[in-house]
Chains A and B, each alone.
Chain A
């Protein structure tokens, strides 16, 4: 990329900037004319939705940080001050709080799309791995964010989860002391969680940049799971997918607004309206809904260390998924057994979520053990074996052939053949 290139833009100001720092040329290339498979379905909206969601979280978070006090005697009251006294404070807080849930809804669907259509398979393995890193960063950020209001569930959730690390032999308790900065969750913990909660979203932005860069090298997958063969298989990203993404964003905002304005505390825990009391544990310690499946796995086995390891393993297994799944066919559309089996896996995750919301006793323990076993069975046994044994359906010749019903020719709408578009 060294050396100045002549900029193609007509506008003199844009041309001047672009010659010296080709951001406009880059935007034109990566988001203007970028050849994108023409057969995306709405599952492909969710990456863009996650990006929009992240921006909403950063903006609302920065404004909230102007009023929040990261001190154990002031934190809870500072949140109430935001809710009651700051102009539109209630709105900004509810957007941030429900935005976290929306972020997980959007991201979980985005991940499911990857699982169903084989987007993790070669050559997109690194793209997938970056995605798992993004998910881990999101989980860390959300966990620390939930501690900040310093309610009962903030405090006790922090205590339970930081205590997990004591399961590791010998170094465990030292790690916990290091995390706490003391002998229990207290002021030092709250302060560092606030600092890291402000930091990690920007780390997220960096990893997402790499995620999208990796995507733009390999190109997007598509519902058929077959490679793009000719420009006729693609559309320029703008205007086709900019408009489609705009539609998706509107639907997303409607759902988001439904929560923010009509049920802002539906997904939350009433215990967090009680200021943190280190001397009294709530009857049920439950994390936010998006952590429930992992919580269920953690509590499914009676052994503390094994529970912790299984919980971490449930995410680590995703890192090696591209090598666990041996099928040569990407998309579930052409894998008749896999396309049914994956829903069983999804069911196991939902069951784990339900188990996580209940005390680990009676039927819930039994269910969580079965579901945990099945979760790992899917990744470690079914996927490797199925890939070898499954008789897949014949793949179409090309994307355009499957979309236009085999005509292969005929005029295309202007702009639909991925020509570079003239830019004013």
Chain B
């Protein structure tokens, strides 16, 4: 009797093992197919994503005659840098570039520095009401920019700041964006406060603690803030449209927009002919390349940065 039961139990066990193996194999097969499907979808999507950029690059390398002759061809028959030369010769392109770099660099420095400064204040001194003040600052993020831009336009106009860089390089010194303060605050909180206390005992005042200790430790979060500030300044079109009318002050974003707009206008008057898309594309390529280069240099920080900014709960 007892033997029988044992045997039965064994067979049941064996059957279970068998079906488990079967399931595992099926699962493996299924996951292999999953991977193949994933690859196909990913490759197709990648092609779709790359195609417009490829078109842009190829068009910028075509001579205008070829564009007129065979406008729908993707690859140029002969590669020429004619369009790039035209962009540089007919527009103060390097002026646009240096304006953009100037505004961007000032913004990056100001935002990194002042956001760390303010954030240190919030972390180090738990003064009564500091949480409320911080909340009030943060609530400003929910206000649509338009509500704020109209009065500032009025102010800048009355200050004579139209056609100057002041509207771009002054505000960033005042807190450097509350979201950046938020990021810095999260980071500085992670620094052990014993570090600050030890420095205090050694006779450092708060300014010295900030410059000698905090500024040296916040590099990782600084890089994130620097990247996003860079992107915002570099890509900004709205500000330059409002405040920069003088062509010598245009940034790249406004420059490429105006090049495009001028060509559109010319087409309107000449009627029906094909736009010199090679020139427009060449101007575009130059605005895009620095961003792509920056991405490959600082890839890790781009990924980490957007992860921390998008996961805020």
B partners with A = no
**What residues of chain B have their CB less than 8 Å away from a CB belonging to chain A?**
none
Q: Which residues of A contact B (CB under 8 A)?
A: none
